[in-house]
């Protein structure tokens, strides 16, 4: 495990996952300086925009008439970000931006539009804010903005600061994103999405907006924030439990985060690759249906994402057949179409697959193939 502090691992994951991330902390504890320094040393062009000294038109653009068409201008900071190989767009002092400016920032934060100009995926968005109670002319963060962001509390590293100040912070290069997070792993990302969606199938936590304004200004569950959570968790190592919890709280709030972590711990989830190698290791009559859903959807998603080979595809079919023959065709049936869409052209659909799901599809009047 990297020595980087937990909150920095979460921030790094948000940057690599392209999930807008808001860093909360008191004034003077190094949020802006650290993120500017880290961003530059990670190879990003860092563009800082302070909302309190901007107008709404700096984010919506100014209307101009081109013939019979009205279009909206973009901004120099957006163009500079787009022109860079990769950029970190840093919205500083977010809670000092007045409501009119915060509203204008909505599309930038999630849809990534500045006027009619769309920021490319090479631009990652991060923000910093003081709590409204200590910010200069601070404003509470509205729920629509809060729900677009992952919220991370800043932890001041006094030892790093004391060491750095002795040398004017020379030779204090941060670890690279790859060292902090490890290499990007598409298989891990798919497993995370299957786990989270299986959890949500069996809870009522997909959407739960707080009625308290303070709580609504931080992380809370919605389809959007769960999508952000899946993206960030896909960048974190599976054994980085501290960072996983911080990221979940930052996206979907403490209640939902704790319930998800407890569910994962109690589920004893199967390794999809191990099951592809030997479907007989699964107890298909296990009473925890959510555990089986997680496995089946992981396998279906992995099959769709990997290069199509007859061996890999037939291994996935064998798992579906094992589930149906083991008494759980209802669990496996939704994944049948996903697996069929990944079928290599030179492979026929086995009659054994049709036979395994004959009764179920006859009862519903349809067959997936």
Q: What is the DSSP letter of 119?
A: P
Res. 205: pLDDT tops 60: yes
Task: Judge whether 123 and 82 are in contact, CB under 8 Å.
Answer: yes
Query: Which pLDDT tens digit goes with each residue over 5-48?
Result: 999 999 999 999 999 999 999 888 889 989 999 999 999 999 99
Give φ, ψ of 339 to 5 degrees.
-70, -40
CB hemisphere CA count around 224 (13 angstroms):
16
Q: Phi-psi category of 87—alpha, beta or left, where left has phi over 0 and alpha has psi -120 to 50? A: beta
User: pLDDT tens digits for 228-249?
Assistant: 999 999 999 999 999 999 999 9
When mean pLDDT is compared over 26-40, 154-168, 241-255, 288-302, the highest value belongs to: 241-255
- What is the rounded average pLDDT of the residues 137-165? 84
Q: Are 147 and 224 in contact (CB under 8 A)?
A: yes
Residue 66's contacts (CB-CB under 8 Å, 6 or more residues apart) are: none
Query: Average pLDDT, stretch 85-110?
Result: 90
Which tops the pLDDT comparison, 288 or 192? 192
pLDDT at 3: 61
pLDDT at 360: 62
Return the biggest CA–CA distance within the chain.
Answer: 76
pLDDT tens digits, 184-195 = 999 899 999 989
Task: Tell me the whole-structure pTM to 2 decimals.
Answer: 0.85
Please report which confidence band the pLDDT of residue 134 belongs to, taking 50, 70 and 90 as the band edges: low
Asked if pLDDT for residue 213 goes beyond 90, the answer is no
Give the model confidence (pLDDT) of 319-353 as tens digits.
Answer: 999 999 999 988 888 888 889 889 999 899 899 98
Q: Do residues 178 and 135 touch, judged by C-beta distance below 8 A? A: no
Q: Give the pLDDT score at 286.
A: 75
Average pLDDT rounded to a whole number, residues 60-74:
81
Segment 241-250 long-range contacts (CB within 8 Å, at least 24 positions apart): 242/6, 243/6, 243/9, 243/10, 243/13, 246/6, 246/7, 246/10, 246/152, 247/10, 247/13, 247/14, 247/150, 249/151, 249/219, 250/10, 250/21, 250/150, 250/151, 250/152, 250/218, 250/219
pLDDT value at position 365?
Answer: 47
Q: What is the pLDDT of residues 260-273, one digit of tens each?
A: 999 998 888 889 99
Average pLDDT over residues 133-161: 83
Rounded to an integer, the average pLDDT of 167-189 is: 85
The residue behind tokens 């089986």 is 292
Q: Of 119-123, 165-169, 255-259, where does mean pLDDT reach its minimum? A: 165-169
Position 337 scores a pLDDT of 86
- What does the pLDDT read at residue 52? 82
In the chain the first and final C-alpha atoms are separated, in Å, by 45
């Amino acid at each position: 495990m990297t020595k980087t502090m937990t909150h920095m691992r979460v921030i790094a994951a948000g940057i690599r996952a392209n999930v807008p991330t808001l860093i909360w902390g008191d004034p003077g504890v190094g949020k802006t300086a650290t993120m500017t320094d880290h961003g530059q040393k990670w190879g990003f062009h860092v563009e800082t925009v302070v909302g309190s000294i901007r107008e709404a038109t700096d984010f919506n653009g100014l209307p101009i008439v081109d013939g019979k068409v009205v279009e909206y201008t973009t901004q120099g900071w957006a163009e500079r970000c787009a022109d860079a190989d990769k950029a970190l767009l840093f919205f500083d002092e977010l809670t000092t931006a007045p409501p009119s400016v915060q509203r204008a920032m909505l599309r930038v934060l999630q849809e990534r539009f500045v006027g009619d100009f769309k920021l490319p995926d090479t631009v990652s968005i991060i923000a910093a804010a003081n709590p409204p109670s200590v910010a200069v002319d601070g404003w509470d963060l509205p729920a629509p903005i809060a729900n677009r962001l992952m919220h991370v509390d800043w932890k001041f590293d006094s030892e790093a600061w004391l060491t750095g100040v002795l040398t004017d912070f020379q030779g204090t290069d941060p670890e690279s994103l790859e060292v902090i997070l490890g290499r990007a792993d598409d298989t891990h990302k798919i497993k995370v999405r299957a786990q989270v969606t299986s959890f949500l199938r069996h809870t009522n936590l997909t959407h739960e907006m707080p009625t308290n304004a303070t709580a609504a200004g931080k992380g809370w569950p919605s389809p959007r924030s769960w999508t952000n959570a899946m993206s960030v968790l896909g960048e974190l190592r599976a054994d980085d439990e501290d960072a996983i919890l911080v990221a979940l709280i930052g996206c979907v709030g403490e209640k939902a985060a704790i319930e998800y972590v407890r569910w994962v711990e109690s589920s004893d989830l199967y390794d999809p690759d191990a099951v592809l190698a030997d479907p007989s290791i699964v107890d298909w009559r296990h009473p925890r249906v959510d555990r089986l859903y997680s496995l089946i959807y992981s396998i279906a998603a992995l099959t769709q994402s990997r290069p199509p080979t007859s061996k890999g595809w037939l291994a996935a079919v064998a798992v579906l057949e094992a589930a149906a023959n083991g008494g759980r065709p209802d669990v496996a049936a939704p994944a049948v179409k996903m697996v069929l869409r990944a079928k290599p052209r030179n492979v026929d659909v086995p009659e054994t697959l049709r036979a395994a799901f004959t009764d179920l599809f006859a009862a519903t009047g349809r067959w997936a193939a």
